[in-house]
Amino acid sequence: MVVLVTGANGQLGQAIQSISGKYPEIDFVFCSSSELNITNLENCQAVFSNYQPQFCINAAAYTAVDKAESEPAKAFDINANGAENLAITCKKFNTILIHISTDFVFDAYFSDGIAYYDRELRLPLKSNLGLIETDVPFPSGVYGLTKLQGEQAIQANWEKHFIIRTSWVYSQFGNNFMKTMLRLASERDTLSVVSDQIGTPTNAVDLAEVLIKIIESCHAELVSASNYGIYNFSNEGQCSWYDFAKEIFHQKGVSIDLKPILTSAYPTPAKRPAYSVLDKTKIKSTFGVEIKEWQTSLATCINQL
């Protein structure tokens, strides 16, 4: 079984590589952007023709959330056009596409203790466990918009797909919030972190394990055509970025004066979702996935640093 992974040098790509040895039955092909440029359809089809993959994990993405506001064309080319090229290519080679999306397709918020997922219509969340896959997306920035456009392009071009929406991804690989916090703590005595954005951290290695579980389920013919579509995945629980930072420092034994601040006190070019907790009921029931609490998974990651 051949599984082609795009974005091999990114955080998720490296996480998949770190566990690939546990699956000798899978022949992983890891492609960096220089080896497989998803914005080039001819290049995509040439690579697929060479490897003939049964599955493709698209871990390639433009993820510079703030920079996307000033580089919308580049973000669109990778996140939307690139996703469409892969969908077209996967259809041509009958390859099942597993595409990684984001909580940034939403901008839910809290008001009077209630979580809503539409600011204008004030529609409350359908699940008290968070956003579900059928909630209507409404991205507030370029990054979220281009990721949503990528989802839509895949849905329009190739039915054999799994779109996995995830949130707040971190790991021992690449650049991420956890590593940034530890670096800043080594440089400063005081640190202020936003406390009014609520979501769930996701260990990239846990995400990688789930992607392979989906592949194994498909390969064992445990997945029917009705199972294709969008799924949420993050670790369990919820917290603010301030809570996340506090737990990082606690588990690492770092002493620092950590202060909570409001989003309004820390303006950024791109607007962040105020609430993006994802309900994982669908992925757990469909694939029998067991999901760790975010604090537990963070401890595992910190031990691996």
Q: Quick one: tokens of 119?
A: 């600011």
- 143 noted as active-site residue: yes
Beta bridge partners of 165: 101, 232
Using CA atoms, how far apart are residues 243 and 1, in angstroms rounded to an integer? 41
Cβ neighbours of residue 163 closer than 8 Å, sequence gap 6 or more: 99, 101, 151, 154, 155, 229, 230, 231
Using CA atoms, how far apart are residues 275 and 238, in angstroms rounded to an integer? 10
Rounded alpha-carbon distances, angstroms, from residue 248 to 72, 183, 200, 201, 280: 33, 12, 14, 11, 24
Q: Please count the CA atoms within 13 angstroms of the CA of 39 that sit on its side-chain side.
A: 12
Residue whose structure tokens are 């990114």: 10
> What DSSP character marks residue 81?
I
List 116, 143, 228, 231, catalytic entry: 143
Rounded alpha-carbon distances, angstroms, from residue 10 to 60, 61, 244, 246: 7, 9, 22, 26
Residue type present at position 86: L
- Length of the chain equals 305
Residue 272 in 3-state DSSP? coil
Residue 262 in 3-state DSSP? coil
Beta strands in 104-172 (DSSP E): 109-111, 114-116, 161-166, 169-170
Residue 153 in 3-state DSSP? helix
Which residues belong to the active site?
A: 143
